[in-house]
Amino acid sequence: MAGSFHRVLCADCENEQVVFGKASSVVSCAVCGTTLATPTGGEAELHGDVVETVEAR
């Protein structure tokens, strides 16, 4: 089952972090700890600006 990856820009510190589109746990910014994504059971809800989306094959 393929998913996609999103490069998310942290709103607080502008760190770019790669988040799996179907993340099953909360993803926090590695720099400041702000929540970048929360799981919904399907596509994770993203909380920063998505810089780029990469489809996995």
- Of 23, 22, 13, the closest CA to residue 48 belongs to 13
29 annotated binding-site participant: yes
Residue 13 assigned ligand-binding role: yes
Residue 2 exposed, middle or buried by CB count within 10 Å (0-12, 13-18, 19+): exposed
32 is in an annotated binding site: yes
Residues at the site binding Zn ion, with contacts judged by CB under 5 A: 10, 12-13, 15, 29, 31-32, 34
Q: Which one, 49 or 52, has the nearer CB to Zn ion?
A: 49
Residues whose CB falls within 8 Å of the CB of residue 40, separated by 6 or more in sequence, listed in order? none
Beta carbon of residue 40, minimum distance to Zn ion (angstroms, whole number):
21
Known binding-site residue numbers for Zn(2+) = 10, 13, 29, 32
